[in-house]
Structure 1
Amino acid sequence: MSDTSPPKPVLFRSYYRDWIEVYKKNAVRNVTLRKYLLTLSWVERLAPDLRLSELTRLDYQKLLNDFASEHERQTTMDFHHNIKGAILDAVEEGLLEKDPTRKAIIKGREPKSRKTKYLNHFELHKLLESLELSSTPSWDWLILLIAKTGMRFSEAIALTPKDFDFSKQTLSINKTLDYKTRTGFLPTKNKASIRKIQLDWQVLMQFSELTKPIEEDELIFGSLGKIFNSTANHNLERRCKKAGISVISMHGLRHTHASILLFAGVSIASVARRLGHASMTTTQKTYLHVIQELESKDIDLVMRAMSSLN
């Protein structure tokens, strides 16, 4: 006798888990996959019994609200985007009649007070003066390099001597190092991150001497042993305190580099290319505070220029 009982309703958390396995595993970077899996863990916690076929706009908004009650707005926005792709696929497959994410309201807690994200020109000068640059690669050399290039931490620790072109004064960024799971080299964050950074003559000469004893394909900072972002941040914090300046992170050095260039009058387009941003929009959003300050100065310049015509 055949079983004619209706199929068991699919839980949303089960569908989302399968969707990650099929569409995201081995298709996105490990760090991105971990974000999807973290989102899944929250779905399992907040809506363990929610059925996919019964997912309405109201249900979805409640899920977002529950998540937002414990997270900031930007984190809730990321949570929303991580889920939305799976839901849109469910709509396309006919598993849902309508898109329940339509007109979703993103809420969230007020942002916590943040540490200083970047140094001003004077503070950076004091930091660089405090570095102890020996004849072998060190954390201080890494601090100098990121401060002078605006590279991402994972890009800087992936460098080998052959990435430097000392005749053309450039540094090629074409890979990152997976320092978290230690699986070797990984692609850059995006296609725009593959780039050549022009170097000033001083840092060029310094790294020309530093890299001479290192084989072309060896990691420049490989002698530091197990490299963790937290260890790098600890060393930078120690240097900042010694220099008597605001404490920032290694990523804050990247912000510092970009901010100083913008204040110096370098165009947003050039800064975006140097940082390896996928678009100028990213640069504008990240450095909005700097751009707004520059606009205030521009207004003064405009007024002076116009008044001089009288």
Structure 2
Amino acid sequence: MASLRKRNNKWEYRIRVKNKQTGEWGEHSKGGFVTKKEAALAAGKAEIEYEYFGFVENGKETIGHYLPAWFELYKRPSLAESTSELQWRVIEKNILPRWGNYSIKDIERNEYRKWLVELKKQYSEGTLRRIHSIFNSAMHDAVTEFKIIRENPLARTKVPTDKKELADRKLKFFTVTEMKAFLDAAKIKVKNSKYKDSNERYVLYSLLCSTGLRIGEALALEWKDIDFATKMLTVNKTVYYANNSKVATVSSTKTTSSERIIQIDDELIQLLKYHRINQNQMHLLYPASRPKDVNGKKLPLLFHNWSGTYWRANVIRDHFTDVCKRADVPLLSPHALRHSHAVHLLEAGASIKYVSSRLGHKTTKTTADTYLHITKKIEQDALDLYKNHLKNTK
């Protein structure tokens, strides 16, 4: 129950609140109201908001209390399980140990900036950006959603960078020639390899080149996801190993928009049919590689390791690097095949909307921003064609 009192011709309310994390009781007060009724209404609103959100509008909430509550309420429900776990690890490992005991109102931009500079000695710019993005988003919501503070002290803070890392961040993809050389190298059977008769990884790389799937999406595919009659591929899940777990986690795709059905070409259809035959042959040669029972049902996977379960992405990355070396192409990662597919589609004249839908991006802006230099080049080429047309037309 709120208590009201008049101070210097203005009304003030006080409410008792219980820290849901520690169980301790405290008081929250706010003044400056012209009438007693205004103060009473504001007190009632504050009590309701505290009951719903778990914090109040005085900025005294600690980061240690606010951030976990914010994450559970505002972030986790909208994230894929793998992304959610990654972001929570960042909060738990990096943000809370340093800032957990600070009140939200006591976070200062200069101190925060110095912290980022210190972190730069331990982490890559990509990791630093992830840390900053999560913390900045939480503080932004403290202003706009919960009205705990008036201004986000982390806004407009720039993540420290250097020229080398700027170069490393450049979009990485294979040219058409490089991609063909890579696939040719992936097809070659490695001498003395135990499973040299398997075409599994070659088919995996071919599928990534032809569809632009994320590696986790491809490794989660089951045979039922392919409709050979209509030549359509359903993408609705991803696989990952959380915290170096020995058991794979299969979850929904990265975002709702990532769930999609895409068309695949005749060449890939034929390759997948051959792969299914080859996979069965390998099961006969190596019975231990047959798909295993998980929760009482078989795993009818397109791609699986020699124990009959999901591949780890890092194992595929290591093999990918070996193939790059054999092909004498840039040492990229499997994700480069996703970028390569998108770039080649755009260069071939596909629309941004089509590419965005095929990749499962949330908006076309995401696609346009990611492949900005490609779209600019295409626009310039189109403009040059237009100018030439005008010159040569009498």
Q: Do they fold alike, i.e. is TM over 0.5?
A: yes
2:250 alignment counterpart = 185
8 Å CA contact 1:12, 1:52 repeated in 2: yes
The residue aligned with 2:156 is 104
Q: Which residue of 1 aligns with 2:181?
A: 126
User: Counterpart of 2:66?
Assistant: 15
Deviation at 1:185, TM superposition (A): 2.0
TM-score (norm: length of structure 2): 0.67
Deviation of the 1:205 alpha carbon: 1.0
Please give the alpha-carbon distance, in whole angstroms, between the structure 2 residues aligned to 1:93 and 1:210.
54
Q: Residue 83 of structure 1 aligns to which amino acid in structure 2?
A: F
**SS in structure 2 of the partner of residue 118 of structure 1:** coil
- Distance verdict in 2 for CA 1:74–1:179, change over 3 Å: closer
Paired residue for 1:223?
A: 305
1:87 aligned residue: 139
Unaligned runs of 5+ in 1: none
Distance 1:301 1:68, change over 3 A: farther
**CA gap 1:60/1:292 in 2 versus in 1, 3 angstroms:** same
**Aligned twin of 1:282:** 366
Conserved? CA contact 1:73–1:106, under 8 Å: no
Determine the C-alpha separation between the residues in 1 that align with 2:362 and 2:26: 48
Q: How does 1:235-274 map onto structure 2 within 5 Å?
A: 235-274=319-358
Aligned to 2:214, which of 152, 158, 161? 152
Could you say if the C-alpha distance between residues 211 and 238 of structure 1 is closer, same or farther in structure 2, counting changes exceeding 3 Å?
same
Counterpart secondary structure, 2:111:
helix
Inter-partner Cα distance in structure 1 for 2:105 and 2:349: 55
Q: Hey, what's the Cα distance between the residues in 1 that align with 2:377 and 2:127?
A: 27
Whole-angstrom distance in 2 between the partners of 1:108 and 1:122: 36
- Name the CA distance, whole Å, in 1 between partners of 2:256 and 2:77: 18
Alignment of 1:192-211 (within 5 A): 192-211=257-276
TM-score, normalised on structure 1?
A: 0.83
| Cα-to-partner distance string for 1:16-44 (whole Å, 9 max, x where unaligned) | 24443565557642433322431453334
**Kindly tell me: are residues 60 and 14 of structure 1, through their superposed partners in 2, closer, same or farther at Cα, counting changes over 3 Å?**
farther
Contact 2:64/2:99 (<8 A) preserved:
yes
Runs of 5+ consecutive residues of structure 2 not aligned to the other structure:
1-24, 28-59, 189-195, 281-289, 292-297
CA drift of 1:234 comes to 1.5
2:139, 2:154 within 8 Å by CA — same for their partners in 1?
A: no
Q: CA deviation at 1:243?
A: 1.6
Cα distance in 2 for residues equivalent to 1:120 and 1:194: 28
Going from structure 1 to structure 2, the CA distance change for 1:78 and 1:130 (only over 3 Å counts) comes to: closer
Q: Separation in 1 of the partners of 2:136 and 2:260?
A: 32
Is structure 2 residue 377 aligned with structure 1 residue 293? yes
Query: What amino acid sits opposite 1:62 in the alignment?
Result: E
Partner of 2:56: none
Asked if structure 2 preserves the Cα contact closer than 8 Å seen for 1:262 and 1:271, the reply is yes
- Matched residue, 2:287: none
In structure 2, C-alpha distance between the alignment counterparts of 1:136 and 1:208, rounded to whole Å: 14
Q: C-alpha separation between the residues in 1 aligned to 2:95 and 2:249?
A: 32
C-alpha distance 291-32 of structure 1, shift in aligned 2 (>3 A):
same
Q: Take 1:200 and 1:127, find their aligned partners in 2: how far apart are those partners?
A: 20
The structure with the largest alpha-carbon Rg is 2
- State the distance in 1 between where 2:351 and 2:77 align: 37
- Letter aligned with residue 118 of structure 1: F
1:107 Cα offset (Å): 3.8
Question: In the alignment, is the contact (CA less than 8 A) between 1:171 and 1:197 conserved in 2?
Answer: yes
How far residue 265 of structure 1 moved from its aligned partner, in angstroms, is 1.0
Q: Is the 8 A contact 2:116 2:159 kept in 1?
A: no
Contact 1:19 1:86 in 2 (8 A): yes
